[in-house]
Amino acid sequence: MLVHAIEVYTSTWANDFIDAQQLRAIRLVFQYLPPACADGNDLEAREKMANGAALAGFGLANANVTLAHCLAHSLGGHSHPPHGRARGCYYLIQWSILLVQIRSDTGDCPLPGHRRR
């Protein structure tokens, strides 16, 4: 749920409404995941986690998903890792590529073949 909310929040299709939903979902995870894990009978924490999952899902339906999300589904069909774990790994790769692109565009990339402008 957390990875989905972050993915949607950083989507190029996001807007003010989606951002508000995803920020709320992220806050709910950090506030209610520890008590929900510590005590499975904590109904308030479980309800808040369910609400956060629904908010993240609304965002997935409205802000499109990234290539990394699609790759995680493909990996899941092949090797069967948990979707969140596969998604998190591809998310790191996706953001690393984006960082190289940003640094290349600004002339601040230390990689060979990327010259300063």
- Are 40 and 51 in a shared domain? yes
* Spatial separation of the C-alpha atoms in residues 75 and 1, rounded to whole Å: 18
Q: Could you report the per-residue pLDDT of 6-55, keeping only the tens digit for each?
A: 888 878 788 899 989 999 999 999 999 999 999 999 999 999 999 999 99
- Are 49 and 101 in a shared domain? no
Q: Could you report the per-residue pLDDT of 55-66, keeping only the tens digit for each?
A: 999 998 888 777
Whether residue 105 is predicted with pLDDT greater than 50 in this model: the reply is: yes
In this prediction, residue 117 carries a pLDDT of 42
- Are 85 and 54 in a shared domain? no
Cα four-point dihedral sign 28, 33, 36, 38: negative
